[in-house]
Amino acid sequence: MIRWLRLAATATIILSMIGLGVIAGLFLVANAGWIPVTIPPWLTSLFGDRPHDVWLPALIAGWLASAILLAALVLWSMFYVWRRRQYESLIGRLERELAKLRNLPFTEPAPLEDLPETPNAQAARVMDALDDDEGLDAR
């Protein structure tokens, strides 16, 4: 499902870019002139009050580049948020698993199969001697 969706999204983006390129190319060929651009009043101190002649294909290319960069920024931020949520989910699952493993001796203690059925008298004397400060040679 995800591969199909990724393939469809990639094909859509490629075809839309080709279509935009063809439309922009035809539009720019038909309108390859210079147009006067008036400066807004709040920018007159920076650029002056006179109108500037701008080549129309460059103006349209700038608008198109701005729109593409804005769309790329939005898509990247959505992808970033999606990946971050995946990583946070993975960390949460690993923390829960680690907490379960830490509590394993309390929730499922190991069986006592390593202990002998009957006590060993020799081992009991040795352990008793180790508990005493006198050592093994006292008995």
78 lies in the same domain as 47: yes
User: What three-state secondary structure class fits 34?
Assistant: strand
Beta strands in the chain (DSSP E): 34-37, 52-55
Host domain of residue 20: 1-30
User: What three-state secondary structure class fits 17?
Assistant: helix
pTM here? 0.47
Beta bridge partners, 55, equal 34
List, for residues 88-135, the tens digit of each pLDDT value.
999 999 999 998 888 877 777 766 676 666 778 888 888 888 877 555
List, for residues 8-25, the tens digit of each pLDDT value.
999 999 999 899 888 877
CA distance 60 to 29: 12
* Residue 85 falls inside a structural domain: yes
* Residue 133 falls inside a structural domain: no
95 lies in the same domain as 49: yes
* Residue 136 falls inside a structural domain: no
Distances (CA, A) of 100 to 19, 86, 89, 92, 110: 55, 21, 17, 12, 15
